[in-house]
Amino acid sequence: MFGWLATHLAHVCPRAVGVEVERRWLRITPRLLAHRLPAAGPVLYLPCAVPAPADAVTGLLAGCRELAPLLCVRWLVAACAIGSDGPYEWLECRARDGRLCARLHLLPDSDYLGWDALLAAGMPVHAACRQRRGDERVAAAQLLDFRCRRLAGLEVLEALPAVGVSALGGGIARGIARAEGLALGC
């Protein structure tokens, strides 16, 4: 349930390449994602370096540039794996064409009921499109608490640095960031 082992297992332990990752595709709109994401509590957010969305959602804004990839999301790929030290769970946020926009990792400090509600909001589908390789360079790693609020008739997706994350959650987040070649930011 902590989200990084299976995606980076070859970096951590090259002999463990055979770990099976279960993936479920879910159809979701950026607006629904913005409304449900705050209930998940603190999560590790790994945005990819993607251009601004070509098919922007009317009435929904990103509160900062780092959150703009979430405005492109049309598919969530719920992934989970069992590693040597327990279960791991994460979401791959994918654009309409299958390119990775961001990953969200469940942490021990996350709200598991909020995470499940986020998953329940998506409509299950068969693998919707082919996953594109090569454009999945992660740009940052941050522990965030998401918010969605109304401002002058618009909805704004915002995030604040997560506070009160446990030593275990922080250690897991740092490990994920390190596997991506990044330092954990605020």
- Closest Cα to residue 126, out of 9, 1, 23, 12? 23
Domain around 32: 9-179
Is 3 contained in some domain? no
Task: Please give the model's pTM, rounded to 2 decimal places.
Answer: 0.84
Tokens for 129, please give them.
């499109």
Alpha-carbon span 6 to 133, nearest angstrom: 16
3-class secondary structure, 173: helix
Number of domains within the chain? 1
Is 185 contained in some domain? no
Q: In what order do the strands lie in the sheet with 60-62?
A: 60-62, 154-161, 142-151, 43-47, 100-105, 86-95, 73-83, 22-27, 123-125
What does each of the 186 residues of the chain score in pLDDT, given as a tens digit? 444 444 444 333 333 455 688 899 999 999 999 999 999 999 999 999 766 555 666 788 888 989 999 998 999 999 998 877 678 899 999 988 888 999 999 999 999 999 999 999 999 988 756 655 555 678 899 999 999 999 888 899 999 999 989 999 999 999 889 988 888 875
- Whether the CB-CB separation of 137 and 126 falls below 8 Å is answered with no
Is 186 contained in some domain? no
Is 54 contained in some domain? yes
